[in-house]
Amino acid sequence: MDAVSGRGRRVVWPGGGWVTWCGRVGVGELAAGCVVGCAVRGGAGRLRVSYTARVSTPDCLFCRIVAGEIPATVVRETATTLAFRDIDPKAPVHVLVIPKEHYADVATLGQGDPALAGEVLATAAAVAEDEGLLGDGFRLLFNTGAYGGQEVFHAHAHLLGGAPLGPMLARSVA
């Protein structure tokens, strides 16, 4: 691929996600080395580049779903979010709602991009409506970290409903 150049332009990255660059760089060079938050790279005849990048993380299961590399039953998609059915549903309705951009968990998402966190909530609400959950109610939860039982480290909301779900925790931990 040809080198791209520009200043502060935001472009969609082919594998998902996006980069903002403020210098000049070969696309292959970005692809080879860029990770979230990487700082400066450069080469002969090239300006040094400061990334403010949120690039799709190749090892992340949900980034691969966003990129279309792993199939999923998508129920709603927006420019910034994706909602798809959980592969191992724990309730009659069990949909995962994620930001397309990679954030490891809801804490990182909420602090890093509160507007995007709000878009995840808006998508979850729209799916709840589509699935007929607004009348009887539903549960929306973000497992976070080890104590939260998180297994996939790309922020996701579990939208659960379609039957009474019982108490929030199986037993008291107090």
Which residue type, as a one-letter code, is found at position 82? L
Instruction: Find which of Zn ion, ligand 5GP, none residue 149 binds, CB within 5 to 8 Å per kind.
Output: ligand 5GP
Using CB under 5 A, which of 22, 60, 121, 126 touches Zn ion? 60
Q: Give the nearest distance from C-beta 95 to ligand 5GP in angstroms.
A: 9
Using rule CB under 5 A, residue 57 touches Zn ion: yes
Residue 45 burial (10 A CB sphere; 0-12, 13-18, 19+) = exposed
Query: 81-109 b/e with 16+ CB inside 10 Å = b?
Result: bbbbebeeeebebbbbbbbbbbbbbbeeb
Rounded Cα distance between 67 and 39, Å, is 24
- Residue among 35, 39, 87, 134 that touches ligand 5GP (CB under 6 A): 87
**What CA–CA distance (Å, rounded) separates 173 from 46?**
57
Residue 57 Cβ vs Zn ion, minimum distance, rounded to whole Å: 5
DSSP letter at 28 equals H
Q: Tell me if residue 156 is catalytic.
A: yes
According to the binding rule CB under 5 A, does residue 81 interact with Zn ion? no
Size of the site for Zn ion (CB under 5 A): 6
Provide, rounded to whole angstroms, the least separation between the CB of residue 145 and ligand 5GP: 10
Q: Is 50 in the site for ligand 5GP (CB under 6 A)?
A: no
Q: Closer CB to ligand 5GP, residue 72 or residue 124?
A: 72
Name the segment binding Zn ion (CB under 5 A); options: 40-48, 77-85, 99-107, 144-152: 99-107
State the amino acid at position 126 in one-letter form.
Answer: A
- Sorted by sequence, the CB contacts under 8 Å of residue 153 that are 6+ apart come out as 60, 104, 105
User: Nearest approach, Cβ of 48 to Zn ion (angstroms)?
Assistant: 27
Give the contacts of 156 (CB within 8 A, at least 6 positions apart): 62, 96, 97, 98, 142
Residues that bind ligand 5GP (CB under 6 A): 61, 70, 72, 84, 86-88, 96, 143, 149-152
- Catalytic positions, written as ranges: 156
